[in-house]
Amino acid sequence: MRYSAFAIVREALRGNRHWAPVWREPEPKPAYDIIIVGGGGHGLATAYYLAKEHGYANVAVLEKGYLGSGNVGRNTTIVRSNYLLPGNLPFYEWSMKLWEGLERDINYNAMVSQRGVLNLYHSDAQRDAFARRGNAMRLHGVDAELLGRDEVRRLVPFLDFENGRFPIQGGLRQPRGGTVRHDAVAWGYARAADRRGVDLIQNCEVTGLTIEAGRIVGVETTRGAIRAKKVGVAVAGSSSRVAAMAGLRLPIESHVLQAFASEALKPLIDTVVTFGAGHFYISQSDKGGLVFGGDIDGYNSYAWRGNLPIIEDVMECAMAIWPGLGRLRVLRHWGGLMDMSMDGSPIIDRTPIHGLFLNAGWCYGGFKATPASGWCFAHLIATGEPHPHAAAYRLDRFATGAVIDEKGAGAQPNLH
Ligand SMILES: Cc1cc2nc3c(=O)[nH]c(=O)nc-3n(C[C@H](O)[C@H](O)[C@H](O)COP(=O)(O)OP(=O)(O)OC[C@H]3O[C@@H](n4cnc5c(N)ncnc54)[C@H](O)[C@@H]3O)c2cc1C
């Protein structure tokens, strides 16, 4: 069923009783050409591009819970391509370009909203670093504007510009950045992949990887063994656990990241703002709630839930940038499980096991990467060769020293 304005009118006249299910619920087949482990944004996008760009229809996505139950449905929806390093910039800009055409491509309203992303700076040194980043972006054809204090004040007048510790001096803005409705991305890619014949198997946890003579030949699951010629792993915060099934130890730590949503307000803030002196970012959802978040937990965990110390930390940052938020009622908060790599950049690569491919290390920035990650991972799985935009995301870069340390924080995952 194609979605259109005409379909909305037609179904409204028919009492909305004839909408087709968004995807099928197939039983797993005994064998597939390609299995993708993980039905998050990256796994679903990979399956879609495998079918669309490379002509593979005999593909299954195996998801241990329900589609979109992981980070793809838990993030703060921010998309941007304001990176500095050559390994990252072309990849994230390619992702922005795919976001810009996504809704037409998959015939699904993902609520792509290019409302701009504004990173605040609070010192001369930080302004210089942002100027350098903005210049790197512009050299790569990415939009960037360095704003002074008055220009920022015109955009977001309610911030605390005179804050005693962190006065706002200005900001680096990417006008094409913004937000995308997170779970609509999962549903949209799922529907589009399903329409091209991909089997989406929910409640199917992969419990083992079957390897014969150094080559992957299938997976063990809670719904039985399934054979496959190739397997792609895209399980975000569970990457190290699934890789361990193949005897691999990854340069990844898992940490919890939390997010918060307030009661609904009238339209108040029409861009994304990030605090430059702490870790805090905020935007307003189309339902009116303010959506915000901050730092990850400083210790490793596989938990998927929030906790009190980070709430205090995030609220302190919120009050430092925007004291008016103290009047706000927070409705809910939640946690997701982040796959933090040692240099803060992702991995899209082959593994030492023939036919087993890895997509991991997205830290807390993997939502914006969803389209490009799926595109490049599909290319890698289909052709066996890295896509040029993702060529730097190699697994062996931690051995060779070719790391992509965007923040310059060193090998400490919780600082990236
Ligand atoms: C609170 C929060 C805020 C964030 N904010 C942003 C943001 O504003 N912008 C941004 O770019 N990024 C953000 N991120 C990061 C982003 O959400 C993730 O990097 C990205 O979603 C990870 O990729 P994914 O969608 O494929 O992961 P997921 O949706 O987590 O998908 C992985 C899937 O694998 C499944 N799985 C795990 N183990 C198995 C198994 N053994 N068998 C089968 N299935 C399995 C899981 O159930 C899960 O559904 C945020 C994350 C969180 C938690």
402 to each of 385, 391, 398, 405, how far by Cα in Å? 19, 12, 7, 9
Question: Taking 90 as the threshold, does the pLDDT of residue 121 lie above it?
Answer: yes
Residue 14 structure tokens: 């028919």
* 266 Cα: distance to centroid of ligand 1 (angstroms): 30
3-state helix/strand/coil string of 29-64: CCEEEEEEECCCHHHHHHHHHHHHHHCCCCEEEECC
For 96, 269, 270, the CA distances from 154, given in Å and listed in that order, are 26, 12, 12
Residue 5 pairs in a beta bridge with: none
pLDDT digits (tens, 9 = 90+) for 14-47: 999 999 999 999 999 999 999 999 999 999 999 9
The pLDDT of residue 86 is 93
Q: Where are the beta strands (DSSP E) in 321-406?
A: 330-341, 347-350, 356-360
- CA 366 to centroid of ligand 1, rounded, Å: 7
CB 293, CB 283: distance < 8 Å: no
Non-local CB neighbours of 317 within 8 Å, separated by 6+ positions = 275, 278, 279, 280, 294
Q: How many DSSP H helices and E strands does the chain contain?
A: 10, 18
Closest-CA residue, ligand 1 atom 35, reads 38
350-408 pLDDT tens trace? 999 999 999 999 999 999 999 999 999 999 999 999 999 999 999 999 999 999 999 88
305, pLDDT greater than 90: no
Closest to 149 in 3D by CA, of 132, 129, 124, 174: 124
pLDDT band of residue 410 (cuts 50, 70, 90) is: confident
pLDDT, tens only, 74-88 = 999 999 999 999 999
Please tell me the distance between residue 74's alpha carbon and the centre of ligand 1 in angstroms.
8
Q: What single letter denotes the amino acid at residue 2?
A: R
Sequence-distant (6+) residues with CB within 8 A of 31 are 218, 226, 227, 228
pLDDT at 241 over 90: yes
Q: What is the pLDDT of residue 353?
A: 98
Ligand 1 pocket by Cβ (under 6 Å): 37-43, 62-65, 69-72, 74-78, 205-206, 234-236, 238, 242, 257-259, 293, 336, 362, 364-368
pLDDT category of residue 304 using cuts at 50, 70 and 90 = confident
Asked if 365 and 33 count as a contact pair (C-beta separation under 8 A), the reply is: no
Percent of the chain with pLDDT over 90: 94
Give nearest CA residue, ligand 1 atom 51: 75
User: What pLDDT is stored for residue 349 in this prediction?
Assistant: 98
Interval 179-217: pLDDT, tens: 999 999 999 999 999 999 999 999 999 999 999 999 999
Model confidence at 409, pLDDT cuts 50, 70, 90, reads confident
* 101 pLDDT more than 90: yes
pLDDT score of 164 more than 90? no
Report the mean per-residue pLDDT for the chain: 96
Question: 211-227: per-residue pLDDT in tens?
Answer: 999 999 999 999 999 99
Which whole number is the average pLDDT over 138-143?
Answer: 97
- Mean pLDDT of the region 307-312: 90
- Distance (Å, whole) CA 163 – CA 233: 46
pLDDT at 411: 87
Closest residue to atom 19 of ligand 1, CA basis: 366
Q: What is the spatial distance between Cα 315 and Cα 325, in angstroms, rounded to a whole number?
A: 9
Across the range 327-353, mean pLDDT stands at 96
- CA 310, CA 220: separation in Å to the nearest integer? 37
Share above pLDDT 70 across residues of the chain, in percent, rounded to a whole number? 100
Of 364, 370, 373, best ligand 1 pocket probe by most atoms within 8 Å of the beta carbon? 364
Whole-number Å distance between alpha carbons of 212 and 408: 40
Say what the pTM is: 0.97
State the average pLDDT over residues 280-307. 93
Q: What is the mean pLDDT of residues 100-111?
A: 97
Q: Which two three-digit tokens encode residue 170? A: 């200005």
Residue 270, pLDDT score? 96
The string of DSSP codes covering 125-150 is HHHHHHHHHHHHHHHTT---EEEEHH
- 49, 113, 179, 367, best to mutate for ligand 1 pocket (most atoms within 8 Å of CB): 367
Atom of ligand 1 nearest to the CA of 65: 47
- Structural domains of the chain in order of their starting residue, each with its CATH number: 25-77+182-251+343-415 (3.50.50.60), 113-177+253-340 (3.30.9.10)
**Token pair of 382, please?**
């289909």
142: nearest Cα among 218, 91, 185, 184: 91
Q: For residue 18, how far is its CA from the centre of ligand 1 (angstroms)?
A: 32
Name the residue with the closest Cα to ligand 1, atom 15. Answer: 364
Confidence of residue 1 (pLDDT cuts 50, 70, 90): confident
Q: Cα dist. 357→24, 215, 261, 394 in Å?
A: 26, 11, 36, 11
Rounded distance from Cα 233 to ligand 1 centre (Å)? 13
